[in-house]
Chains A and B, each alone.
Chain A
Amino acid sequence: MSASGNQRSRPSPSRWSKRRTRWLIVAVLLALAIVPEFFVTHYAHFESLGIELDARFGFYAWYSFFACGAMIAIAKLLGIFLKRRDSYYDE
């Protein structure tokens, strides 16, 4: 709705390339984060209870991604009901 939002959705060609580099860096970083997974063994924190989910391959990576996605989705959903104009209480 705001002006800045509109500008961001119509990026200039130069920003496109910037954005591509950014994604590239992110991809490399993520790869770097996953690669050592082959060499490191994680503890299963609740071994005694028979829960070994947290010791599976890449657990922290996908868990983090989906947890964050869920939190953003929930926030977005609640925002529909909870958001009010900035000056709501001043009226």
Chain B
Amino acid sequence: MSMHLPALQVIIPLLLAAVIFLFNNARIAYIVSVAASWLCLAIAIQLLLLVNDGSVIEYAFGGWEPPWGIAYNVDQLNAFVLVIVSGIAAIMFPFSWRSIQAEIPASLHVLFYTALLLCLAGLLGMTITGDAFNFFVLLEISSLATYTLISLGKDRRSLSAAFQYLIMGTIGGTFILLGVGLLYTLTGTLNMADLAERIGPLQASRTLQAAFAFLVVGIGLKLAMFPLHLWLPGAYATAPSVVSAFLAATATKVAVYALLRFMFGVFGADFAYGEMHVELMLVSLALVSVLFASLIALLQRGVKRMLAYSSLAQIGYMLLGIGLANVSGLTATLLHLFNHALMKGVLFLALAMVFYRTGGSSMRHMSGLGRQMPWTMAAFVVGGLSLIGVPLTVGFISKWYLILASIERGWWPVTAVILVASLIAVMYIWRVVEVAYFKERPADLPTVSEAPLSLLLPTWTLVAANIYFGINASVTTGIAQNVAQTLLGGVQ
């Protein structure tokens, strides 16, 4: 059994998605989804433990040996991302039941869970696969499910947002397909490990360079790299709350992982930095996105949009870490994958609870909630502190490494940008705190009570994780540093 874990990781949610669709009963769908997410988490943790010594698990699908068959390769990097994705799923799936009662018509609940499981399967598959084409297919599976999930939003704006995301996502996917195709014409293989070997002597090839450009831009679209981010705020702001939470915490993380995997696992650090100087593009775009997105987040009135823009800024941090091209920088990126999932998870879930009780998530809806929904707002505050990067929360850990990396590189202006952006984060989080704790509730809005326990519990699990991994960061930093060293390999 344990030798089939890599396959089960993807097949369980994929198959169960079909099963719940056939059963067509919302409650069964919910229970099965939750069970699936927990099972996935258990498998992911098991896999992480198996590869924690630096070994690589290779799994050949259907017994077809790579490079001919599709291979799933699990190493520390993707096992780490698997844990992030399935962990977030394991927390958010239980949360979803009550949350969607308020936001999605009952007739669509089965569909919702089907799409959610498909999305999970796609994300996990993208992470675990060792085959470039298989990556594209799983990317499209998760993307199609995502478009559907977004379109389930209460407002009609979610439809147009989903459509726009469909256009953009498909372009991104097609770019990736094109990049993979170019790689295949060049090397005749699709297996990532095999590709990496054969690319070695071909560094000067124009085809390889074109493939790299298409892949970076394609993946950049999926991870909402500035200026390809325009689809994201609309999608996050109009999707059902729990969908925003799930996507914000996982989808972009997997895209960042994909960038890492292609850059380091396929092209190699030497090619990416040495030949292509990708750090120039990444750092400049990341800096613009960190500052620009932070400022725009500050100007937003809708809290969900504010968080969406802050996500863009955080993605900027991750790209910055890659662009800094040293071990500390990559460590920061990897840590931030995990940490950002935790903090944005908390913030979006807290917002989902606000939505559940008040029917909205604008600043206005949140005014005076500090007293009426104390636990919800406390969770929001902890998430906010983490986002700012206050010590003893996870946010501090990744920010610390990022700053260290920028100093190591001698790029003080980058340090300044990171710190200024943190200051802006203080201000936008403070805006919410101010209306929630120091403003009276507007007379025309109803008084509300605290969110139910079934919503609070998952949220506070994440809050606890935010603090626990902020204080005891040795596990995450250990993995991240290991992976960063392996990825960078020769380049130093």
A and B in direct contact, judged by CB atoms within 8 A: no
- List residues of chain A with CB under 8 Å of any chain B CB: none
- List residues of chain B with CB under 8 Å of any chain A CB: none
